[in-house]
Copies of this chain bind each other. A is one copy, B any other.
Amino acid sequence: MASPKPIHVTPIGLIHTPYHDHDDIPIQGGFKPEGRGWVEVFPEYQEGLKDVEGFSHLFLIYLFHRAGDVRLVATPFLETTPHGIFAIRGPMRPNHLGLSVVRLEGVKGNRLDIAEVDMLDGTPLLDIKPYVSHFDWRENVRCGWLDKHFEDGVPPHARRKDGSRPGG
């Protein structure tokens, strides 16, 4: 096989959020629905937003622009055990590509108002795709090391710091 050639990608916009530091960011945006931000799509790509307003949720693919290092094994938030980078969602991955589902609240020109954000302010945006439940939902999903953190359907952000559940 020929050695793979590097590929160039170019930001199509910027993601503006209230989060200026990694410590501010929720584990996942869906756990903090009030976390709002907006996407600035550069004007040369605005035409591509036609009909996006019909979708309630979008995938954003973006660059973890402040993740300098690559670590193939890392210990994610919630854990003390290291896992392979392809079994976690953290930023220190090869190519530093981020993926999030956000809720679309409105489209005005080249601006998308979004909620459930979990990226840093000023994040370079590489692509927007419609979130399509007909394509993107799967049944009988196993989530490896993560499932134990969601036992009884209680997400970790609802637990106390000692790991116990409110009311539990």
A interface residues, Cβ below 8 angstroms from B? 1, 4, 6-12, 14, 28, 30, 41-42, 45, 47-59, 61, 63, 72-73, 82-89, 93-95, 97, 99, 101, 103, 124, 126-138, 140-146, 149-150, 155
Contact between B47 and A73 (Cβ–Cβ < 8 Å)?
Answer: yes
- Which residues of chain B are near A49, meaning CB under 8 Å? 84, 86-87
Q: Are A141 and B131 in contact (CB under 8 A)?
A: yes
**Known contacts A51-B84, A84-B48; is-contact A146 B129 (Cβ 8 Å):** no
Count of identical protomers in the assembly: 2
Return chain B residues, CB-CB under 8 Å to A8.
6-9
Q: Beyond the given A55-B144, A61-B99, could you list 8 further A-B residue pairs with CB under 8 A, ordered by the A residue number?
A: A41-B86, A45-B72, A54-B87, A55-B87, A86-B127, A99-B99, A132-B143, A134-B155
- Residues of chain B within 8 A (CB-CB) of A134 are 28, 143, 146, 149-150, 155
A4 touches B9 (CB 8 A): no
